[in-house]
Amino acid sequence: MPDEKITADRLIAFSDGVFAVIVTIMVLELKAPEEPFFAALWPLWPTAASYAVSYLFIAIIWINHHHLMRFAGPPTLGLIWINFIHLFLVSLLPFATAWVARTRLASSPVIFYGCLFVAIDVAYNVFEHRVLSRADARVPAQMRRMARRRSLSVLAGFSAAALVAAVAPRLGFTLIWLALILHLRPDISGARA
C-alpha cells in the first residue's frame, strides 16, 4: 500500500511541476512596452487576453486534475500515459498563446488555439473517465453523469469556437473563454473522498 501512495504522489508532483513550467514559459513571452505611458499598453491587449485565457485554462486544468487525483488510487500504466499525453498537449499552450497574441487574434492562430483546446479536453475526458471508472462508490453515478455531460458540453464549446474562428476569430476566441466558465468548479468536488 505505501508504494501505491508514493506512485500516485509522484504522478501528482510531476504533473504539478509540468504545469508550473508551462506557466513560467508563458509569462516569459510577456514583453513590456518600451514607452513609459499607459497608452503603450493598449496595443498589447491581444497578448493580455490570450495570456489570461491560457492562464485560466491551466488553472482550471490543474484544479480539476488535483480533485480527480483524489480518486485515482494506484495509477495504472494507461492512466500514467494518458496523463503524459494530456500534459504534452497542455505544453503546447505557450506556443499557441504567443501565436494568437502576435497575430492579434488572426483566424488561423485562433483556429489552432481552439483545436488545441479540443485536443487537451479530449485527453482530459479520457483521463477523467479512467479515474472515475475506478472510483466506484466514492463518486456517485449521478455525479459521474453530470461530470460527463459538462465535459462534453465544454468539448462542444471548444469545437464550435474553432469552427467559428474560421470566419470570426474574435468571436471564436470569446467562445473559448465562455466554454472555460463551465469548468471553473471541479467536476467531482461534491464526491466523497
User: Does residue 187 belong to any structural domain of this protein?
Assistant: no
Total number of domains constituting the chain: 1
User: Does residue 186 belong to any structural domain of this protein?
Assistant: no
pTM of the model: 0.88
* pLDDT tens by residue, the chain, 193 residues: 455 555 788 899 999 999 999 999 999 888 899 999 999 999 999 999 999 999 999 999 999 898 888 888 888 899 999 999 999 999 999 999 999 999 999 999 999 999 999 999 999 999 988 888 887 667 777 877 888 888 899 999 999 999 999 999 999 999 999 999 888 777 554 554 4
User: Does residue 164 belong to any structural domain of this protein?
Assistant: yes
**Domain membership of residue 53 as a residue range:** 2-181
User: Does residue 188 belong to any structural domain of this protein?
Assistant: no
Q: Quick one: which of 95, 96, 69 has its CA closest to 83?
A: 69
User: Does residue 39 belong to any structural domain of this protein?
Assistant: yes
- Provide the CATH number for the domain around residue 20: 1.20.1410
